[in-house]
Amino acid sequence: MRIGVKYCGGCNPDYRREEVEEVLRKHFKIFYSEDAEILVLINGCRKACLLEEVKHPRFSVVDSQLSEEEIVSKVEKAMKKLLEG
């Protein structure tokens, strides 16, 4: 299953988006493309500006305030939902 990754604009300099990417890379094979079955939106703040611009039909939103287990769980739930149709 292709899991794409898209970053927000990075307006919050205290937010370490790359840490979220490291968690994703540890557990999944990820791509930097919206041409994926699931798109993971990595947001830098609670505003979640990516939700306003992304038109992908299946996505999961994560941020650095989530634990590694929570990030993995959100992506796995999105994968399961896709497979169940």
47-59 per-position pLDDT tens digit: 777 878 887 778 8
Question: Under 8 Å CB-to-CB from 1, ≥6 apart: which residues?
Answer: 37, 38, 79, 82
| Alpha helix positions (H), 1-85 | 17-27, 50-53, 68-84
Residue 32's Cα: distance from chain center in Å?
Answer: 11
4-43 per-position pLDDT tens digit: 998 887 777 777 788 888 999 999 999 888 889 999 988 8
Element (DSSP H or E) covering residue 30: strand 30-31
Total tally of structural domains belonging to the chain = 1
Supply the range of the domain harboring residue 17: 3-84
Residues 12/44, Cβ–Cβ less than 8 Å: yes
Handedness of CA 70, 76, 78, 84 (dihedral sign): negative
